[in-house]
Structure 1
Amino acid sequence: MKASWEKTEKNRGVLTVEVDEGQLEEALGQAFRKVVTKVNIPGFRKGKVPRSIFEKRFGVEALYQDALDILLPKAYQSAVEETKIEPVDQPEIDIDQLEKGKPFIFKATVTVKPEVALGEYKGLEIPEEDFSVKPEDVDVELKQMQERQGELIVVEDGEVEEKDRAIIDFEGFVDGEPFEGGKAEQYNLEVGSGQFIPGFEEQLVGMKQGEEKEIKVTFPEEYHAEELAGKEAVFKVKLHEIKRMQLPELDDEFAQDVSEFDTLDELKADIENKLKEQKQQEEENHKRNTLVEQAAQNAEIEVPPVMVEHEIDHMLRHFEQQLSMQGINLEQYAQFTGQDIAAIREQFKEDAEKKVRANLVLEAIAEQESIQVNDEEVEAELKKLAEQMNRELEEVKRLLTAQGGLGSVKEDLKIRKTVDLLVSNSKNAA
């Protein structure tokens, strides 16, 4: 097999591959053995038709597609390895020559990992930022604990307030006509949560139990349902019930209910200590993220759009998992927020591009500094993972091997060591 690589653009080029006729013949033979079992020709038992008779009847061209399915993936992968290119997307294949008795020639147009021209990555400075724990930080944490212990009670005589739960019926109309998805009964809405179209929840404030009201809103211009985008709508709303969170008193009894401590002061001290630990971790993350961002900004690199799209795919899958834990899917989220999937993807684009850029730069620094990860370091990392997952080490290894993840553990460690290098060589290093 022969392979040659020619760059045509910054991150794209053409891989020309020539496979000798012997390999093509072998693939045609495999293709024939696959299809002959399905062929009926008078005078021959099924699966026993000689290849010469098959080709005379149907032509050798009838075998080409199956032969390509067999030959192309292996030939392309071998050519990638031979030319030492790093594709980041599926190739565009063009067949130049496919003829029995002659070499098989094809061209693959490929987007490859971009070259990185590193700038300054040592001696970088981290801007000062305050990571101390303040009294109000403790108060916020305490307030959240208080709210978690709160109890929803029915408000018999009162008006809807921000953060109340309003149990409502509603039906929406555009130009006097009801629209699909605009009607619900006994809907439990947290007022101020932002679930509904802007302006809807605010107009619930002040309503009383049993009251009916018309709420006028305008759908966002980017609303996922094009027939509603930018249009004015009227919702007929009936309020059935108001539920409000009743919070417990912040006292020693509260501390005893939510912790192992006897007094509120002891609970506050524990919260402060835990917050200090969190802040220390935040400070460390801030240092590392800031240095990576600076190193990435100092480098010259043209990120292929396809790499950004792949990263958006990854981020969107993670986002969907988070939504599923809240009991909703991506389509419902899009409907609640008045967006379509394309708009949601666009929100991830900037962060995705930064992440791809940072990873490429860190890989380049690791190569420049000859950073390596040995087997002992991988083993130690796997032991940590096993402890975190509360599983046996060998079981974790089997799981990761099945998922193709052992290599990623090594790469993650290499990136971590590279960031360690940035930190130790920064101006702020102790």
Structure 2
Amino acid sequence: MATAVETLGKLERRITISFPLTDVRTEVEKRLKVQARTAKAPGFRPGKVPLKMVAAQYGYQIESEVLNDKVGRAFNDAANENNLRVAGFPNIVPKEEAAEGQLAFDATFEVYPEVAIGDLTTVELETVQAEVSEAEIDKTIDILRKQRVHFHTKGEAGEHGDGGEAVAANGDRVTVDFVGSIDGVEFPGGKADGYAFVLGEGRMLPEFEAATVGLKVGEAKTFPLAFPEDYHGKDVAGKTASFTITLQKLEWAHLPEVDAEFAKSLGVADGDLAKMREDIKVNLQREVAGRVKARNKEAVMDALIKVAELEVPKTLIAQDSERLAEMTRQDMAQRGMNVKDVPFPAELFAEKAERRVRLGLILSQLVGDNNLQATADQVKAQIEDFAQSYEDPREVLKYYYSDRRRLGEIEALVLEENVVTYVLGLSKVTSKAVAFDELMGSNAQA
């Protein structure tokens, strides 16, 4: 039996559930007898253990199961009878005062809110677009060349030349011994032998790199180095050290020529440079399209948050905060970080969770009102689009269609795109061109 629904707040509700204690006892006895059929105990054959011994061993567990079942069933029945859309899980606690022979529980919970979406035809949206030019292809080729760089001893003649005068310069890879001290005392981490780095990449502090430039193999130099106040080494942050470096090895960087061999290293079997550039262009266009889509989706989601009015259930925010915290922990663990004893307070993720939940409720309302569900053909097309960048597209299709959860992720993605298309079709949209570098440097996330 359940009482009438009490309204405690905009979304918070409470129901009192009660049922006879005899119902619980009857069900417990029934389950104990079933348990006794297979129960084992020293000195007794299976199924011959006295019921009192079975009750002593399993009684508490079975009673808890019966209570959970009865309370859960009663709550679900009450929610259905009152047409309540319960958000998250109810908080159920025993009621101190109950009628004689009755057990009573208070179930406090939240319901899903009403979502009021404003007039989308009044929404002003700015979308972006970007092009892939020959300059972007050239930049990408330069990056690919640098990824395939190899080093040769500077000053020694070889197949690719000698690299020029054997003096350390930006772009060279240097191997040094160094030792640092503060007030004449060496400090932890301030000494190394055979330490290699490339000048100009910014791996070392500017003063350290500047002191290395101009050295020849075997030469040493002593110089002051002021550690920044925010330096990661707290023991030396904000202090000035004296360093002595000795150049042990000097190598110059040789970038591969853009020729047939280079094209083959990028997967162009016949080494055709025009084919290589076309492949790079196609890949860049795919990446640009993805970034543009993400930026425009973010603009639509921001607009929907502004135009929609709703209360967001705290229960759902808390659940999503916990989910985000656990996802972060798993991600860091997969990257090889030891996070076993690192706390991940869910509160840190509350703001992001609130946005996610809010958007989820808004999108659900829009999809239901306007029949924007993902179709099977749309899902297949999306997976096929993903598969284009893989060597065996059939394996990608199999990967998604063999797992309902993975397929659900694609369905959710298509659903979001349907919403974006719908909103853009109603809103006042202006488009602006953005530079390739600006777009590729952004990390738009809806």
Q: TM-score range by the shorter chain?
A: 0.5 to 0.7
Counterpart residue number, 1:421: 422
User: CA distance change for structure 1 residues 34 and 413 in 2, over 3 Å: closer, same or farther?
Assistant: farther
TM-score (norm 1): 0.65
Give CA deviations for 1:36-60 in whole Å, capped at 9, x if unaligned: 94778xx9878745446877xx6x9
What's the offset of the Cα at 1:72?
1.7
What's the offset of the Cα at 1:294?
0.8
What's the offset of the Cα at 1:363?
1.3
Q: What are the equivalent positions in structure 2 for 1:24-173 lying under 5 Å apart?
A: 25-27=26-28, 29-30=30-31, 37=39, 48=48, 50-51=50-51, 63-69=59-65, 71-72=67-68, 75-76=71-72, 79-80=75-76, 82-83=78-79, 84-88=84-88, 91-96=90-95, 102-110=101-109, 114-122=113-121, 124-153=123-152, 157-159=166-168, 161=170, 164=173
What's the offset of the Cα at 1:364?
2.0
Q: What are the equivalent positions in structure 2 for 1:23-422 lying under 5 Å apart?
A: 23=24, 25-27=26-28, 29-30=30-31, 37=39, 48=48, 50-51=50-51, 63-69=59-65, 71-72=67-68, 75-76=71-72, 79-80=75-76, 82-83=78-79, 84-88=84-88, 91-96=90-95, 102-110=101-109, 114-122=113-121, 124-153=123-152, 157-159=166-168, 161=170, 164=173, 201-205=205-209, 206-207=211-212, 217=227, 220=230, 245-250=253-258, 254-255=262-263, 258=266, 259=268, 264=273, 267-268=276-277, 271-272=280-281, 274-303=283-312, 304=314, 305-307=317-319, 309-310=321-322, 312-313=324-325, 316=328, 319-320=331-332, 324=335, 328-329=336-337, 352-372=353-373, 377-378=375-376, 381=379, 385=383, 388=387, 390-391=394-395, 397-400=401-404, 411-422=412-423
Amino acid of the structure 2 residue aligned with 1:313: A
What's the offset of the Cα at 1:18?
3.3
Conservation of the 8 A alpha-carbon contact between 1:365 and 1:418: yes
TM-score (norm 2): 0.63
Give the secondary-structure state (helix, strand or coil) at the position aligned to 1:126.
strand
What's the offset of the Cα at 1:291?
1.6
User: CA distance change for structure 1 residues 229 and 46 in 2, over 3 Å: closer, same or farther?
Assistant: farther
User: CA distance change for structure 1 residues 241 and 351 in 2, over 3 Å: closer, same or farther?
Assistant: farther
- Alpha-carbon separation, structure 2, partners of 1:408 and 1:307: 19
- Alpha-carbon separation, structure 1, partners of 2:294 and 2:202: 30
What's the offset of the Cα at 1:362?
0.9
- Alpha-carbon separation, structure 1, partners of 2:244 and 2:345: 29
Percentage of identical aligned residues: 18
Give the secondary-structure state (helix, strand or coil) at the position aligned to 2:17.
strand
Conservation of the 8 A alpha-carbon contact between 1:150 and 1:246: yes
What's the offset of the Cα at 1:368?
3.0
What's the offset of the Cα at 1:4?
6.1
Conservation of the 8 A alpha-carbon contact between 1:30 and 1:67: no
Conservation of the 8 A alpha-carbon contact between 1:97 and 1:103: no
- Alpha-carbon separation, structure 1, partners of 2:12 and 2:175: 56
Report the number of matched residues.
397
- Alpha-carbon separation, structure 2, partners of 1:273 and 1:130: 16
User: CA distance change for structure 1 residues 220 and 405 in 2, over 3 Å: closer, same or farther?
Assistant: same
Amino acid of the structure 1 residue aligned with 2:93: D
Conservation of the 8 A alpha-carbon contact between 2:24 and 2:66: no
- Alpha-carbon separation, structure 2, partners of 1:212 and 1:78: 81
Amino acid of the structure 2 residue aligned with 1:63: G
Gapped runs of 5+ residues in structure 2? Answer: 156-165, 388-392, 432-446
Give the secondary-structure state (helix, strand or coil) at the position aligned to 1:17.
strand
User: CA distance change for structure 1 residues 279 and 385 in 2, over 3 Å: closer, same or farther?
Assistant: closer
Conservation of the 8 A alpha-carbon contact between 1:17 and 1:76: no
Give CA deviations for 1:131-174 in whole Å, capped at 9, x if unaligned: 12344322321211211222244568544747957677889999
User: CA distance change for structure 1 residues 279 and 65 in 2, over 3 Å: closer, same or farther?
Assistant: same
Amino acid of the structure 1 residue aligned with 2:139: V
- Alpha-carbon separation, structure 2, partners of 1:19 and 1:280: 60
- Alpha-carbon separation, structure 1, partners of 2:305 and 2:104: 40
Give CA deviations for 1:110-141 in whole Å, capped at 9, x if unaligned: 45655533233345343253412344322321
Conservation of the 8 A alpha-carbon contact between 1:95 and 1:107: yes
> Does 267-276 or 139-148 show the bigger shift?
267-276
Gapped runs of 5+ residues in structure 1? Answer: 333-339
Give the secondary-structure state (helix, strand or coil) at the position aligned to 1:248.
coil
- Alpha-carbon separation, structure 2, partners of 1:292 and 1:249: 46
Conservation of the 8 A alpha-carbon contact between 2:332 and 2:339: no
Give the secondary-structure state (helix, strand or coil) at the position aligned to 1:329.
coil
Amino acid of the structure 2 residue aligned with 1:369: N
Give the secondary-structure state (helix, strand or coil) at the position aligned to 2:18.
strand
Which of structures 1 and 2 has the bigger CA Rg? 2
Q: RMSD of the TM alignment (CA)?
A: 5.4
What's the offset of the Cα at 1:296?
1.7
Conservation of the 8 A alpha-carbon contact between 2:168 and 2:174: no
- Alpha-carbon separation, structure 1, partners of 2:185 and 2:243: 11
Amino acid of the structure 2 residue aligned with 1:144: I
What's the offset of the Cα at 1:65?
4.9
Counterpart residue number, 1:336: none
